[in-house]
Structure 1
Amino acid sequence: MTPAQCRAARALIGMSQKELASMANVGAQTLADFERGARVPRINNLNAMQTALEEAGVEFIPENGGGVGVRLRK
């Protein structure tokens, strides 16, 4: 998951940084720093954030020639 994907995923489902940090059990500053591109969180924190977003209905689109992205799961 890239910082842009994280921001876009939250926007799709109307989730705040605080809500995602709480759901993923990561520090709010860790999430904010990641989304700003200031640092890359530990892999377990990154996975927890992505899992929380997926459980909330986001699907991550891998690089497939058109670039990475996110969408709502059907």
Structure 2
Amino acid sequence: MKDAISVEQSRAARGLLNWSRDDLAAASGVPKRTIADFELATTAPRSRTLQAIRTAFEAAGVEFIPENGGGAGVRLRRTSA
């Protein structure tokens, strides 16, 4: 499923962007408590919640790297010079 992102990807993406959970909540429209519960692996969010988080990260320039034997990951989108 395209919208599935892992806890590790969410944390890493926030780190790349230097975003707090408050920043992600503002960008995605997802409550901060829901983001915290997801990143602490205490709940499994609904598909639409994960999609909102992913969309916010992608709009900010994060690319999600699919599982390729070495694990899924994230990186910042390259900008053309």
Q: Decide: shared fold, TM above 0.5.
A: yes
**In 2, Cα distance between equivalents of 1:66 and 1:26:** 30
Q: TM (normalized to structure 1)?
A: 0.96
**In 2, Cα distance between equivalents of 1:54 and 1:40:** 21
More helix by share: 1
Match of 1:70 in 2: 74
State the secondary structure of the residue aligned to 2:74: strand
| Bigger-Rg structure (1/2) | 2
| Equivalent residue in structure 2 for 1:48, among 30, 52, 59 | 52
What is the percent sequence identity of the aligned residues?
53
- Any gaps of 5 or more consecutive residues in structure 1? none
Q: Which amino acid is 1:27 matched to?
A: P
**In 2, Cα distance between equivalents of 1:67 and 1:20:** 23
- Any gaps of 5 or more consecutive residues in structure 2? none
1:1-74 alignment to 2 at 5 Å?
Answer: 1-74=5-78
| Offset of residue 30 of structure 1 | 0.2
**In 2, Cα distance between equivalents of 1:60 and 1:8:** 10
Q: TM (normalized to structure 2)?
A: 0.88
Q: Which amino acid is 1:40 matched to?
A: A
Q: Which amino acid is 1:50 matched to?
A: R
- Structure 1: which 4+ aligned runs deviate by more than 4 Å? none
Q: How many residues align?
A: 74
